[in-house]
């Protein structure tokens, strides 16, 4: 048992700022998250119990429908696909320009990813390109909400309706974003969120699935606990099943109380996180929009809570900009290596990917997280402008 005297949260006092280094993204953790974790440790019930139940209830209020928590976003995608019950090898349309997690989840569920191209404006799944890659085996579309933006989700849902496809939204980047006035996850078929360390909210690692399909959520609840039927209800009342049956493949994908305790605090802080992300992204947009040689990715900050800030640097000057920022102690990233170029997913390649291939050579992600100050973003913009204007 912890004694309260032994609490030492010195490591959590204030924001630890390294003036010589600007991180691309980071967890924003304060004293409250530390206290919440200590609370779980003191109760000595670390697994899945009351805190997870409470986090799920708060998420259900946030989305306006039931949310099922899992231990990663990837696990959520895997379970959501598997719970659809498609025939093995069925095809799922997915943008090639996504984190490898989307592709791995599809193959983990025994399905075939079919890589699609993206729209140049938003870097989200191109509905026309997706339709071109449809076959008799296509059973679902997985739009990826790149940077938090939704792209042409209406066209993707209408394609799904016309062709009788499920839609599993990879909403890892889009916690808190809205589309046409509705919060992502509150409408549509199924959406999966990630709460890993750098996402719009974090639970350390973690994720959740929301869906209009109550049966799918019930199957996921069992599958996250090794397929043990109705174990969720027992865990939430501090018990577990000793005698049970199993009908389906299951996984150890449930969320722990430690993770949920962090998530609960982060959800409470989300309005401030969202405001900071939008404000900082707004500075980038204002400062960079008129720069020659740079293209912004379309993000409507009135609707979107941006998870990353991607730009396209034209004329082969991306490395030059990245190197200069790095020399100034500023981290940058690349989102993403196209999956159709990865050895394991080379079969997902069907024809050409002109936009994705172009973006691969141009995309650069600039620092964005709620602990950045306005002057940090101004400094990044000054340096980018200096490199691009300097020739």
Ligand X SMILES: Cc1ncc(COP(=O)(O)O)c(C=O)c1O
List residues binding ligand X (CB under 6 A). 72-74, 98-99, 101-102, 144, 170, 172-173, 194, 196, 207
Residue 254 to residue 234: CA distance in whole angstroms? 13
Closest CA relative to residue 64, chosen from 255, 261, 212: 212
The residue sitting closest to ligand X, measured at its beta carbon, is 73
Token duo for residue 158: 């209408």
Which is nearer to ligand X, 177 or 388 (by Cβ)?
A: 177
Give the nearest distance from C-beta 171 to ligand X in angstroms.
Answer: 8
Element (H, E) at 154: helix 153-163
Specify the residue, 207 or 250, whose C-beta has the smaller distance to ligand X: 207
Residue with tokens 């399905």: 111
Q: Which is nearer to ligand X, 195 or 387 (CB)?
A: 195
Contact 148, 200 (CB under 8 A): yes
Calculate the CA dihedral of residues 298, 304, 305, 309 and round it to 10 degrees: 0
Nearer to ligand X among residue 59 and residue 384 (C-beta):
59
Tell me the closest approach of the beta carbon of residue 333 to ligand X, in angstroms: 11
Whose Cβ is closer to ligand X: residue 73's or residue 263's?
Answer: 73
- In terms of CB distance, is 71 or 257 closer to ligand X? 71
* Smallest separation, CB 391 to ligand X (Å): 33
CA distance 242 to 245: 10
Question: Residue 329 in 3-state DSSP?
Answer: coil
Least distance in angstroms from the C-beta of 194 to ligand X: 3
Closest to ligand X by CB, 368 vs 387, is: 368
Cβ neighbours of residue 352 closer than 8 Å, sequence gap 6 or more: 117
In angstroms, what is the minimal distance from the CB of 101 to ligand X?
A: 4
Closest approach of ligand X to the CB of residue 136, in Å: 27
How many whole angstroms separate alpha carbon 103 and alpha carbon 96? Answer: 9
Shortest Cβ 47–ligand X spacing (Å): 19
| Number of neighbours of residue 382 by Cβ within 10 angstroms | 12
**Which run of H or E residues covers position 179?**
strand 178-179
């Amino acid at each position: 048992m912890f004694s309260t005297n032994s609490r030492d949260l010195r490591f959590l006092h204030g924001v630890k700022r390294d003036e010589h280094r600007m991180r691309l993204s980071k967890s924003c953790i304060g004293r409250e998250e530390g206290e919440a974790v200590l609370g779980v440790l003191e109760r000595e019930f670390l697994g899945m119990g009351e805190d997870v139940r409470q986090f799920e209830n708060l998420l259900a209020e946030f989305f306006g429908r039931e949310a099922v928590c899992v231990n990663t976003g990837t696990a959520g995608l895997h379970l959501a696909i598997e719970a659809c019950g498609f025939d093995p090898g069925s095809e799922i349309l997915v943008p090639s320009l996504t984190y490898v997690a989307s592709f791995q989840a599809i193959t983990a569920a025994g399905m075939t990813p079919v890589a699609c191209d993206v729209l140049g404006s938003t870097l989200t799944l191109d509905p026309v390109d997706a339709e071109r890659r449809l076959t008799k085996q296509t059973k679902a579309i997985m739009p990826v909400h790149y940077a938090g933006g939704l792209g042409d989700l209406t066209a993707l849902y209408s394609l799904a309706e016309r062709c009788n496809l499920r839609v599993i939204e990879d909403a890892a980047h889009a916690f808190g974003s809205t589309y046409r006035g509705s919060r992502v996850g509150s409408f549509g078929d199924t959406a999966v969120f990630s709460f890993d360390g750098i996402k719009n909210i974090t639970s350390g690692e973690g994720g959740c699935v929301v869906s209009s399909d109550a049966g799918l959520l019930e199957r996921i609840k069992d599958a996250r606990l090794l397929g043990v039927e109705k174990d969720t209800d027992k865990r939430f009342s501090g018990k577990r099943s000793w005698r049970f049956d199993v009908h389906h493949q299951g996984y150890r994908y449930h969320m722990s109380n430690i993770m949920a305790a962090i998530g609960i605090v982060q959800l409470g802080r989300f309005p401030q996180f969202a405001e900071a992300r939008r404000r900082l992204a707004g500075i980038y947009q204002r400062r960079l929009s008129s720069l020659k040689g740079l293209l912004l990715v379309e993000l409507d900050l009135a609707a979107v809570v941006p998870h990353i800030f991607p730009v396209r640097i034209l004329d082969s000057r991306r490395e030059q900009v990245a190197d200069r920022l790095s020399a100034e102690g500023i981290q940058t990233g690349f989102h993403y290596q196209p999956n159709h170029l990865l050895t394991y997913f080379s079969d997902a390649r069907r024809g050409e990917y002109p936009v994705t291939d172009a973006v691969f050579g141009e995309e650069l992600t600039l620092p964005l997280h709620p602990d950045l100050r306005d002057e940090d973003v101004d400094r990044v913009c000054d340096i980018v402008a200096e490199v691009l204007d300097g020739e």
